[in-house]
Amino acid sequence: MSEIPKPQRIAIAGATGYIGGRLAPRLLEAGFALRCLVRSPGKLQAREWAAHPRVEIVQADLADAASLARNLEGCQAAFYLVHSMTSAGSEYVGRDQHLAETFAAAARQAGVGRIIYLGGLGETGPGLSRHLSSRRDVEAALASTGVPVTVLRAAMIIGSGSASFEILRYLVERLPVMITPKWVSTPCQPIAVQNVIGYLVASLSVPETVGGVFDIGGPEALCYRDIMSVMAEELGLRPRCVIPIPVLTPRLSSYWIQLVTPLSHDIAGPLAEGLKNPVVCREDRITRLIPQKLLNVREAIRAALSQMVGNQVETNWSMAGPIAGDPDWAGGTVFRDDRQLIVLAPAAAVFRAVCRVGGGHGYYAASWLWKLRGWMDLLAGGPGLRRGRRDPEQVGFGEALDFWRVVGFERDRKLALRAEMKLPGEAMLEFTIQAPDARQCTLRQRALFQPRGLAGLLYWYTVAPLHHIVFRGMLLGIQREALRIAEGR
């Protein structure tokens, strides 16, 4: 009997990010085996596809060539979907180039057959933005050791949860009148996220793509003003009044984006700077090598909005970036607010109620205080409550819930949130569930705060009187919600 051939093994660097998280399940559907190289493996524990028998999850340091080469051994191809904007701030250009050079060296040492990279469209030359120029530098770095590199260059990617889509949606939803820079007249050729994934997957099976650089885009090029008009129509809104003026610089635009949308300045800045560059396809070879139905702008926006309405957002821009370790609570003053109660409901119902905190559902009590805290954080340069959440019910390790980040997740047992709001210290909010039997459980809620200097002490003593309203109300609200869930309401 002849041996069944093993499936081709593909490495993905960046599997926890927006594109990587959508690419992985499509590669599995196509029959490939995956090795996901991730900084925080816990980020994948809530993804259904991560438990597939053809998936390996490896904690990897992309800055360590030797260990990375070992992680890449046995992989016929590798997707490089890494970007440092959310983790390296203004230093992302140098960091991106260094990581790409390291990855290329490791791929060569491991005998990887090819690298596939998703880059950015834009005319080359001195006028190219720092962000798009960095993408070009990464292309060169990946090719520097001789491993064949396939580069797919895209402009705005339209998909539920993408950074570009969220900027567009929030601007259109919140601003009936927009005073904008000249970039609203810049031509852009957006592409639907499902078409991007289609090109990435199919490129593995098309030999002509090896070593090539390809422009990918949808079937039409529009200026940003026209794209905003389509978005308004698909949202069922009145036409937006867009007034372009020449004095708004990319820096001012980035601050405006940060104010109106959930994106931080670290992400909004590079994206705003790149809006001045025309980003349209200069060639269309990929459409003949990999034919597929390309969605136009309206179809792509409609598909993205339908996923949001149906709570089917697979990945979100806020999933990217590093997850800091738990704070070192030892060796300093740590303030605690501990509360607990008995809930006459099974642990699964209580955990579902806990996992509904944040986003549109709110925090079960004192909504006006949470909104006030969100606005204060926004004014201080933090994310505020604008990030919301990917799904109204489901959460996973590493996901953002407003100005919190999930840093601990044990189904039906524990949810731990670390504060990413602007604070003079470190803060966490933990929920733990202990179930002595199937009919009831003990829900414990703990808020921890380690102050930083005098400002931290003053902050704690200022907000401590409100905890009885905020945290006790939250605990009782979770109890009520858990009982409704248990009763099937």
Per-residue pLDDT at 458 exceeds 50: yes
> What is the tens place of the pLDDT at every residue in 149-184?
999 999 889 988 777 787 788 778 877 877 776 667
The C-alpha atoms of residue 304 and residue 158 are separated, in whole angstroms, by 7
| C-alpha span between 268 and 164 (Å, rounded) | 9
Mean pLDDT comparison of 13-17, 115-119, 317-321, highest-scoring range: 115-119
Residues 374 and 305 in one domain: no
Same domain flag for 133 and 24 = yes
Q: Is residue 326 one of the residues assigned to a domain? A: no
How high is the pLDDT of residue 308? 72
3-state helix, strand, coil in the chain (%, to 5): 45, 20, 35
Q: Which position has the higher pLDDT, 315 or 137?
A: 137
Read off the pLDDT of each residue in 375-387 and give the average, rounded to a whole number: 82
Strand order, beta sheet including 55-59: 55-59, 33-38, 9-13, 77-80, 114-120, 149-154, 213-215
Tell me, yes or no, whether 240 lies in a domain: yes
pLDDT at residue 489, rounded to an integer? 61
Q: pLDDT, tens digit, for every residue of 5-23?
A: 557 999 999 988 889 989 9
Cα distances (angstroms) measured from residue 78 to each of 28, 264, 298, 395, 425: 14, 30, 33, 28, 40
Q: Which of 66, 127, 138 is nearest to 101 (CA)?
A: 138
Can you give the CATH number for the domain in which 32 is found?
3.40.50.720
394 in the same domain as 294? no
* Same domain for 287 and 376: no
pLDDT bucket at 331, cuts 50 / 70 / 90: very low
pLDDT band at 327 (very low <50, low <70, confident <90, very high): very low
Q: Name the 3-class secondary structure at 410.
A: strand
Say whether pLDDT at 29 is over 70.
Answer: yes
HEC states along 115-161?
Answer: EEEEEECCCCCCCCCHHHHHHHHHHHHHCCCCCCEEEEEECCEECCC
**Which pLDDT score, from 0 to 100, does residue 321 have?**
55
- What does the alpha-carbon distance between residue 376 and residue 122 come to, in Å, rounded to a whole number? 38
CB 220 within 8 A of CB 296: yes
Residue type, 342: I
Task: For residue 284, give Cα distances in angstroms to 120, 190, 219, 255, 297.
Answer: 15, 14, 10, 35, 18
Mean pLDDT of 291-309: 89
pLDDT-derived band of residue 129, with 50, 70 and 90 as boundaries?
low
> Where residue 396 sits, what CATH number does that domain have?
3.30.530.20
Looking at the structure, tell me whether residues 420 and 368 fall in a common domain.
yes
Q: What are phi and psi of 187, to 5 degrees?
A: -75, 145
Q: Average pLDDT of the chain?
A: 83
What pLDDT does 432 receive? 93
pLDDT of residue 209: 95
Residue 2 maps to a domain: no
More confident residue, 460 or 42: 460
User: What is the band of 366 on the pLDDT scale with cuts at 50, 70, 90?
Assistant: confident
Q: Which residue has the tokens 């136009």?
A: 296
**Domain range for 482:** 335-486
pTM: 0.72
End-to-end CA distance of the chain: 56
Question: What percent of the chain has pLDDT above 90?
Answer: 40
Task: Flag whether 175 is in a domain.
Answer: yes
Residue 161, both tokens = 């949860």
Average pLDDT over residues 242-259: 66
Other CB atoms within a 10 A radius of the CB of residue 65 amount to 17
Confirm whether 327 is domain-assigned.
no
Total count of residues recorded for the chain: 489
Asked whether residue 192 falls in the same domain as residue 55, the answer is yes
User: Checking DSSP bridges between strand 414-419 and strand 404-410, what pairing results, if any?
Assistant: antiparallel
269 or 297, greater pLDDT:
297
CB neighbour list of residue 362: distance below 8 Å, 6 or more residues apart: 370
Are 172 and 204 members of one domain?
Answer: yes
Co-location of 239 and 339 in the same domain: no
**Rounded to 5°, angle at Cα 35 from 115 and 395:** 115
Confidence of residue 328 (pLDDT cuts 50, 70, 90): very low
Is pLDDT larger for residue 274 or for residue 228? 228
Look at residues 319, 347, 370 and tell me which one is the last residue of a structural domain. Answer: 319
Cβ 89 vs Cβ 270: under 8 Å: no
428 pLDDT exceeds 60? yes
> How many Cα neighbours within 13 Å face the side chain of 349?
20
Looking at residue 87, the DSSP 8-state letter turns out to be H
Averaged pLDDT for residues 392-403: 84
Dihedral (CA of 281, 85, 300, 278) sign: negative
pLDDT value, residue 130: 65
- The domain total for the chain is 2
* CA 25 remoteness from chain centre: 17
